[in-house]
Amino acid sequence: MFPNLAFNLQAAQVLELWIGAFLTLMIFSFLYKDNPFYKFAEHLFVGVSAAYWMVQAFWSTLIPNLFGKLYPPMVEPFLPEIAGNEADFFKLIPLVFGIFLLMRLVPPWAVVARLAMGLVIGFAAGTNLTRYLQSDFISQIDHTLLPLIAFDDAGFSLRETIKNLMVVSGVVAGLIYFFFSAEHKGLFGKASRYGIWVLMVSFGAAFGYTVMARISLLTGRMNFLGDWLTHMFSGNLPT
């Protein structure tokens, strides 16, 4: 039994390697020009992704979090450990609202989907509002209020002072650039000009990071194709 299993695992790994390599080459073919191979790989990716997300959500959320709590014996074949738990009938509420959402597919009943959608939007807006206010607004303002003359254990710190000056002046100048109720001239105009420079530097950094990300992904694919070529010529599989 075990040798067969090992053989099957190896065969599956080889198949995975070859399918992955061909799909990678199909996607790369777009760099030359659009073609049916690229289109095929693209559509396959979209379809497989959608199916994967659906299956994952079903087995990791609907089964343990809904059916496993609503009627635990139902999940005994898959999750025997929670099959003996007590039923939690409060889960009927998300079940009903979940069914309401699906009613969008039945035109005469589509209006009830709005109830579920309203709940989702209301919950998301309420939760996000408080957390965004705290983490992205108040905390960010708090952490921008830095001392313009900084000291550390050894006394005056020039490095920290310069850093703090850059952060504070950058934020203030950036805000001035987006302040349109006063004409951008004189000292105000110079601050606005500094603000656009700060923005340009941040855009440049973001672009540099994006280039790095794309090259990293290309390196990953090249490593994969290297594994495939190694297997093709030597029979060795990647570890």
Partner 1 sequence: MLQKLGALDRRIIFVLIALAVIIPLAVGLVFPVATTPIVQNIFDSIEALPPGSKVLLTADYGPSTEPENQPMLEAVARHCLEKDLRLYVASIWATGPPMIEQMIGKVIRADFPDLVEGEDWCNLGFKAGNQGVINSAYSDFHNAFPTDARGQAAANIPMLAEVLRLENFDHIVAIGSGFPGVKEWVQFGGDPAGVPTAGGVTAVEAPLLYPYYPAQLLGLMGGLQGAAEYEAALVKAYPKYTESSRQAIKNMGPQTVAHLVIIAFIVIGNLAYFSSERAKPKLGVKS
Give the interface with partner 1 as residue ranges (CB under 8 A). 31-32, 52-53, 56-57, 60-61, 64-65, 68-69, 78-79, 81-82, 85, 123-124, 127-128, 131-132, 134-136, 139-140, 142-143, 202, 205-206, 209-213, 215-220, 222-223, 226
- Three-class DSSP category at 84: coil
Nearest CB to partner 1, comparing residues 96 and 222:
222
Considering the complex, what minimum distance in angstroms separates the CB of residue 170 from partner 1?
11
CB nearer to partner 1: give 200 or 218.
218
Distances (CA, A) of 97 to 67, 106, 116, 178, 202: 14, 15, 5, 43, 44
Query: Measured from the CB atom, is 115 or 227 closer to partner 1?
Result: 227
H or E segment and range at residue 222: helix 186-234
The 3-state DSSP class for residue 155 equals: strand
Compare residues 98 and 189 and give the one whose CB is closer to partner 1: 98
Q: Of 54 and 106, which has the nearer Cβ to partner 1?
A: 54
Shortest spacing between CB 27 and partner 1, in angstroms: 11
Total Cβ atoms within 10 A of residue 64: 14
> Shortest approach of partner 1 to residue 192 CB, angstroms?
21
Which run of H or E residues covers position 117? helix 111-132
Residues 6+ apart with CB under 8 A from 188: 176, 182
The least distance separating partner 1 from the CB of residue 114, rounded to whole angstroms, comes to 20
| C-beta separation of 26 from 225 below 8 A | no
CB of 1 to partner 1, least distance (A): 21
Find the shortest distance in angstroms from Cβ 57 to partner 1: 5
Q: What φ, ψ does residue 126 adopt, rounded to 5°?
A: -65, -45
* Residue with smaller CB distance to partner 1, 127 or 236: 127
**Spatial contact of 17 and 231, defined as CB atoms under 8 Å apart:** yes
H/E segment holding residue 183: none
Q: Are 101 and 113 in contact (CB under 8 A)?
A: yes
